[in-house]
Structure 1
Amino acid sequence: MIDSTQSSQLRVAIIGAGMSGILAAIKLREDGWQHVVIYEKAARIGGTWRDNSYPGLSCDVPAHAYTYSFAPNAEWSRHMAPGPEIQAYFERMVQQHDLAPCIRFNTEVTACEWRGGAWHLATSDGALQEADVVIAATGVLHHPKYPQIPGLHSFAGQCFHSARWDHGAEIEGQRVGVIGNGSTGAQLISALAGRAAHLSHFQRTAQWILPVENPVFTEAQKQALRDDPVLLKQAQASESYLAIVDHFTRAVIDAESPELAHLQQAVEENLERSIANPVLREKLRPPYRAACKRLIVSPDYYQAIQHPQVALLNEGIECVEPEGIRTRDGVLHPLDVLVLATGFHADRFVRDMNVVGQSGLKLNEVWAERPFAYLAMSVPGFPNFFMLNGPSGPVGNFSLIDVAEAQWNYIAQLLQPLRQGRYQQISVAQAAMNDYETARIAAARKTVWATGCNSWYLDAQGVPATWPWSYAHFREVMTTPNLAHFDCA
């Protein structure tokens, strides 16, 4: 139970040592919070950038924009940083801010129950912990999704999900198949073309590709950034990048916008210009509007798919056999290695953790129809439980670090009255939640994500589950909490 005599001793439990969890810990420590523990289910920090280590992994956000605002990095090697560099950046943040003593590795939180004015956490090692505040920084894409294909387990070669890459698998000189053509699939084809003896890309639905250059930063460019903190800060928040973010968000939130028409023209021109073979070009032409699915940003996928030892197969998969994949036209495609670039369960968030709020309220039951959270952070009946990058947050083609920092600014302000002993618990009020969700769903139906394609942006009812307003509006809303929208006791 929190009271004014204990306010300086509040215990905060952070679940997840990925980008958002590290951010929360750094900010809490900077603000003088003494009792902060991060529970991490794995043996290392990193989240997405730890779990994904496949060839060709990179961020599709410019590297300088994908850094904490307080920790710009002059050492990025390319315009879009490779995954290992991003993982190293977060490891460096943990070291520089001395967070290692706060982290409980190999400790998965399996249950989280509010009772007696505190959160009671059960962990995979059998221990029971208590906390006054829980910050759920579990991420969006961390439960791999395996395809339901007949015979998948009969495959005689090596088979693994892209987020569980087998670094012992031989690629050179092998017949490799990749199922899935989202961002991961596109990056894999670009990286493996020319390495595998034959590379088969199994495509269910074509994707629009936005061309982008990915130049190497020269040593002179990096040195200039090292020498000039102002220049480095400008690189981090460049006007050109912010303009792109603004243009893109105005495109996706209004399916009839001129910005979306401009985006459609750009991806169509990229397809026409890049693919010479008219048959292949039509195989690669999506039957939906640009950005209805998450836009693929790639400097070289179209070049890789035209490699003489690469085949695009869109006949549909009939089954997997020990020797390879049989497509619906009856052809068997022999394979030695099969990679499942089939994405993640984007609706899990803090689940499969069993979260129980006030009066035995179970989050799994509350979310039976769809996951929801006020401003992607708070759910009625779950006091002092805040999510970073939770349901309905912005997850477009821009920096989730920016999103998490804006959300943290908001959450930090909610924590202050708890810390000061003014309240013992805070959670969003049901009326505010209802108003937010009604407005969000109405706005979501006008976005490009609702124009007729199947994507991980859609919930089980077919409603886009992401932030449906402008990014500028998101940043404005994150500036100051309205306590009238919260139940404070």
Structure 2
Amino acid sequence: MGRRDLSIAVVGAGFSGIGLAIGLKQAGFTDITIFDKADGVGGVWRDNTYPGAACDAPSHLYSYSFEPKPDWTRRFAEQPEILDYLRHCTAEYGLTPHLRLRTEITDAEFDAARGRWRVRTGDGERLEYDLLVAACGQLSNPAVPRLPGMDSFTGAMFHSARWDHGHDLTGARIAVVGNGASAIQFVPRIAPDAESLTIFQIEVHWISRKPDRVYPRWRHTLNRRVPVVQKLARLGIFLWFELVLNPALVSPRGRLLLSAPVRLMCRHALRSVRDPQLRDRLTPRYEPGCKRILTSSEYYETLNRPNVHVVDSPITEITADGVRTADGEHHLVDTIIWATGFRSQDFVAPMRVTGPHGTELNAAWKDGARAYLGMAVSGFPNFFLMYGPNTNVGSGSIVHMLESQTAYIVQAARLLAEGITTMDVRQDVLDRFDAATQRRLSTSVWNQGGCDSWYLDADHRNTNNWPGFMTGYRRRTRRLNPADYHLRH
């Protein structure tokens, strides 16, 4: 295969890490170790077990192109089925021997003299690798606000991504803090059994109906016997995102043409809320797409229940038995569920990554996370990220982006195996890429739509989203150009 048997460490066993390991194995690499601090594969689909957890991208697109699943039970798969799919891929492609589960990588430091990464595990073990890939994702570290009095609360309190299944919600007085993608999925599931459920709304969202449906058995049979049917379904979904929805996000002209239809679609769904005053409070004042457009056919209906209430006033304090808001109201609750999302800019946290000159990655990113094509950072040789800065998609499937990154990183691995000792992306290449990316993002709805979202960091720099089409990213990553890197033989 090459001049040396490259040793590769992949940190994270979610869609990114599993997909990359499969690509590396298919390219002939054998010395691959996949680390994960949890006791199983799956990433966010292992962690997010809250009631109603499901994908908001259609199943046929939210899966690897090389491993179609003909028998998805429904158009938008739920968490257990997606997790089973990832476990199936792990077994099918022989990744189990490569897994190091229950093993957290706390530190990684590049040894310039040897051209290798020295990594340390949580239990103090030290290991060395030629290539290090952080496949930690953007949505792996739950964000929980620090509010006065949190330590005094006597009831149950947990984040939606760390759901406490041992806590019975029947007859509970529940506070749900946040009303984003997770909340609109689990609120309809837990509201019927609660004595009361109060949603502390942080910011309103555009919500459309979810065109979900159960796939009948004959469709499973058809997919198996005539695989092109499933391929065409995948292509159709891809083109819908790429040609219809994506222009409304990234193109000023597309926003002009498509914003009004999206508003009408979401306002039609909002008519399910019977109280006109509540409907007004649930109507966003920013452009559709500035924040992620959510999908649900149950959330608005749930708000009509007599035991469900929506509070707009900000929380000022957590008390022993409730939540106090800025309007002076004290809401008695015995359970607090944080639906407050993730620390989306912590691309490698809590792992510390240190380059050959002693610079720590987060210090290099003090003015905002930047990576060439979302994968390579200057000053950190033989190191790549998956689902890194500016590779999230506002419309489409992240799996398509991950497969593009896999193909690119496999090319890098081949270079390292065939005689290159180190490869470090040139600073001028990264600077030009980042400047062009931020320039394109400056006219996108995420930057100009009149809202604050998790796409923007504290300085309102968009560190998360790709500013164009998925096909554009595929084209940019199809061929690794060695001239973009400082190469040492």
TM over 0.5: yes
SS at match of 1:65: coil
Task: Give 1:34's match in structure 2, choosing from 18, 30, 33.
Answer: 30
Q: Which residue of 2 aligns with 1:407?
A: 405
Task: Give 2:157's match in structure 1, choosing from 153, 159, 169.
Answer: 159
CA distance, structure 2, for counterparts of residue 382 and residue 134 of structure 1: 10
Which amino acid letter does the alignment assign opposite residue 69 of structure 1?
Answer: S
Deviation at 1:256, TM superposition (A): 4.8
CA distance, structure 2, for counterparts of residue 445 and residue 20 of structure 1: 28
Task: Give 1:391's match in structure 2, choosing from 370, 389, 392.
Answer: 389
CA distance, structure 1, for counterparts of residue 203 and residue 426 of structure 2: 41
In structure 2, do the counterparts of structure 1 residues 320 and 349 end up closer, same or farther at CA, with 3 Å as the change threshold? Answer: same
Q: Which residue of 1 aligns with 2:308?
A: 310
Q: Which residue of 1 aligns with 2:276?
A: 278
Q: Which residue of 1 aligns with 2:354?
A: 356
Deviation at 1:73, TM superposition (A): 0.8
Q: Which residue of 2 aligns with 1:471?
A: 470
CA distance, structure 2, for counterparts of residue 394 and residue 182 of structure 1: 17
Q: Is 1:486 aligned to residue 485 of structure 2?
A: yes
Q: Which residue of 1 aligns with 2:146?
A: 148
SS at match of 2:144: coil
CA distance, structure 2, for counterparts of residue 254 and residue 150 of structure 1: 42
Q: Which residue of 2 aligns with 1:444?
A: 441
> How many residues are treated as equivalent by the alignment?
483
Q: Which residue of 1 aligns with 2:12?
A: 16
Identical positions, percent: 36
Deviation at 1:271, TM superposition (A): 4.7
In structure 2, do the counterparts of structure 1 residues 318 and 365 end up closer, same or farther at CA, with 3 Å as the change threshold? Answer: closer
Which amino acid letter does the alignment assign opposite residue 277 of structure 2?
Answer: V
CA distance, structure 1, for counterparts of residue 315 and residue 352 of structure 2: 36
CA distance, structure 2, for counterparts of residue 350 and residue 343 of structure 1: 17
1:334-349 alignment runs, 5 A limit: 334-349=332-347
CA distance, structure 2, for counterparts of residue 67 and residue 272 of structure 1: 31
Q: Which residue of 1 aligns with 2:249?
A: 252
Contact 2:197 2:307 survives alignment (8 Å): yes
CA distance, structure 2, for counterparts of residue 11 and residue 145 of structure 1: 34
* Post-superposition CA distance 1:89-136 (Å, at most 9, x none): 101111112211111111111111111211111111211111001111
Q: Which residue of 2 aligns with 1:92?
A: 88
CA distance, structure 2, for counterparts of residue 87 and residue 164 of structure 1: 16
In structure 2, do the counterparts of structure 1 residues 272 and 339 end up closer, same or farther at CA, with 3 Å as the change threshold? Answer: closer
Contact 2:292 2:394 survives alignment (8 Å): yes
Which amino acid letter does the alignment assign opposite residue 15 of structure 1?
Answer: V
Which amino acid letter does the alignment assign opposite residue 377 of structure 1?
Answer: M
CA distance, structure 2, for counterparts of residue 78 and residue 268 of structure 1: 23
CA distance, structure 1, for counterparts of residue 87 and residue 196 of structure 2: 36
Which amino acid letter does the alignment assign opposite residue 20 of structure 1?
Answer: S
Q: Give TM-score scaled by structure 2 length.
A: 0.95
Q: Which residue of 2 aligns with 1:377?
A: 375
1:105-124 alignment runs, 5 A limit: 105-115=101-111, 116-124=114-122
Deviation at 1:482, TM superposition (A): 2.4
CA distance, structure 2, for counterparts of residue 324 and residue 167 of structure 1: 21
Deviation at 1:318, TM superposition (A): 2.6
Deviation at 1:330, TM superposition (A): 2.3
* Post-superposition CA distance 1:367-403 (Å, at most 9, x none): 1111110010000111111111101113323211111
CA distance, structure 2, for counterparts of residue 195 and residue 219 of structure 1: 33
Q: Is 1:81 aligned to residue 114 of structure 2?
A: no
CA distance, structure 1, for counterparts of residue 269 and residue 226 of structure 2: 40
Deviation at 1:32, TM superposition (A): 1.1
- Most deviating of 366-375 and 268-277: 268-277
Task: Give 1:427's match in structure 2, choosing from 424, 428, 435.
Answer: 424
Q: Give TM-score scaled by structure 1 length.
A: 0.95
* Post-superposition CA distance 1:31-72 (Å, at most 9, x none): 111111111111111110111110110000001111111111
Contact 2:376 2:384 survives alignment (8 Å): yes
CA distance, structure 1, for counterparts of residue 249 and residue 269 of structure 2: 20
Contact 1:247 1:259 survives alignment (8 Å): no
CA distance, structure 2, for counterparts of residue 474 and residue 317 of structure 1: 41
* Post-superposition CA distance 1:403-425 (Å, at most 9, x none): 1001111222222222222x211
Task: Give 2:21's match in structure 1, choosing from 1, 18, 25.
Answer: 25
Deviation at 1:253, TM superposition (A): 1.0
1:211-222 alignment runs, 5 A limit: 211-222=209-220
Deviation at 1:282, TM superposition (A): 0.7
Which amino acid letter does the alignment assign opposite residue 433 of structure 2?
Answer: Y
* Post-superposition CA distance 1:183-236 (Å, at most 9, x none): 01111212222122221111021111122221111222222223322223333x
SS at match of 2:357: helix
Deviation at 1:303, TM superposition (A): 1.3
Contact 1:225 1:232 survives alignment (8 Å): yes
Q: Which residue of 2 aligns with 1:55?
A: 51
CA distance, structure 2, for counterparts of residue 241 and residue 457 of structure 1: 22
CA distance, structure 1, for counterparts of residue 237 and residue 40 of structure 2: 35
SS at match of 1:110: strand
1:134-213 alignment runs, 5 A limit: 134-213=132-211
CA distance, structure 1, for counterparts of residue 212 and residue 66 of structure 2: 25
Contact 2:6 2:413 survives alignment (8 Å): no
In structure 2, do the counterparts of structure 1 residues 488 and 302 end up closer, same or farther at CA, with 3 Å as the change threshold? Answer: same
CA distance, structure 1, for counterparts of residue 314 and residue 361 of structure 2: 37
CA distance, structure 2, for counterparts of residue 263 and residue 147 of structure 1: 35
SS at match of 1:17: coil
CA RMSD in angstroms comes to 1.7
SS at match of 1:233: helix
